[in-house]
Amino acid sequence: MKIHLSQIPEEGVEHQINWPVSSLPRLVELCGPQQGNLEARVFLRNHEGSVSVHGEVRLSVLAPCQRCLDPVPLLVDERVDLRLSPAEDYNQGNSEAHLGTGDLELSYYEGEEIDLAHLLEDEVLLSLPETVTETDEEGRCLVCSRSMEDLFDAERDDPEAHPFARMRQWVEKE
């Protein structure tokens, strides 16, 4: 969803968003096929080309468990607080300038449009945990109920069907 700068008044405008999660290509590439919707409420304000974006984004994502590789449902419920400046401001900036605390939420845009879908997808991707592993107090995966030992126990599984079978061959060679 691209929004032309002329559609963002200085007093601001609110957008209610409901997109299929499957339409977020980088999220689908990272986590696999998705179902459900991204829901967001954002307020955009334009002050002489500098745009502020504030609001919330919420969706459910199925991310692969790092232990068993089965999908794990994650709820993303994040605040969005961004400032966008024209790319020319960055290109004309002083190379010796120092970043301030508020500059960490600063992004740049090119042209006369802002791609809201890309910005919200960025916020979702940044909010996902680095590793997704769900375990109970006994160390068993909450998704597949297997322990780490079960995942690496080649005698219990068909060696050819085991997801780590080729890795075991590499380790045994060394």
pLDDT digits (tens, 9 = 90+) for 50-70: 888 899 999 998 888 777 777
User: Which tokens is 21 given?
Assistant: 């999660």
Q: Is the pLDDT of residue 37 over 80?
A: yes
Question: Residue 48 falls within a domain, yes or no?
Answer: yes
Distance CA(144)–CA(128), nearest Å, equals 21
Give pTM, 2 decimals.
0.68
Per-residue pLDDT tens over the stretch 99-122: 455 555 677 788 888 888 888 998
DSSP assignment of 104-163 equals GGEEEE-TTEEEHHHHHHHHHHHHS-SS---B-TTS-BTTT---HHHHH-TTTS-TTT-T
φ, ψ (nearest 5 deg) of residue 138: -95, 5
Between 71-75, 122-126, 151-155, 162-166, the lowest mean confidence (pLDDT) is in 151-155
Instruction: Note the pLDDT of residue 85.
Output: 83
CA dihedral sign of residues 18, 22, 24, 28: positive
Distance CA(131)–CA(126), nearest Å, equals 12
- Range of the structural domain that residue 103 is part of: 2-134
Residues 116 and 169 in one domain: no
Residues 158 and 73 in one domain: no
Contact 17, 41 (CB under 8 A): yes
Question: Residue 116 falls within a domain, yes or no?
Answer: yes
